[in-house]
Amino acid sequence: AIYEMLYEDDIPLKVSVDEAIEIAKSLGQQEDTPKFINGVLGKILDNIGS
């Protein structure tokens, strides 16, 4: 997701974040994993300036 957010201009930022959260939900063994991923990617979005 971070690579997509930084280098893939044809993929909307929100799509990259949403897909990463869905992957975290399916693979995460802890229920707060998607929340953590969302927080990290949200901070990156803030720094990108979207």
- In whole angstroms, give the CA distance from residue 12 to residue 15: 5
Task: Give residue 41's pLDDT.
Answer: 96
25 in Cβ contact with 34 (< 8 Å): yes
Domain hosting residue 12, numbered range: 2-48
Give the pLDDT confidence score for residue 14 in this predicted structure: 93
Report the pLDDT value the prediction gives residue 30, as an integer from 0 to 100.
85
Q: How far apart are the first and last CA of the chain?
A: 15
Which residues, in sequence order, are CB contacts of 20 under 8 Å at separation 6+?
1, 37, 41
Provide the residue-wise pLDDT of the chain in tens; the chain has 50 residues.
999 999 999 999 999 999 999 999 998 778 889 999 999 999 999 998 75
Q: Which pLDDT score, from 0 to 100, does residue 22 have?
A: 94
Number of domains composing the chain? 1
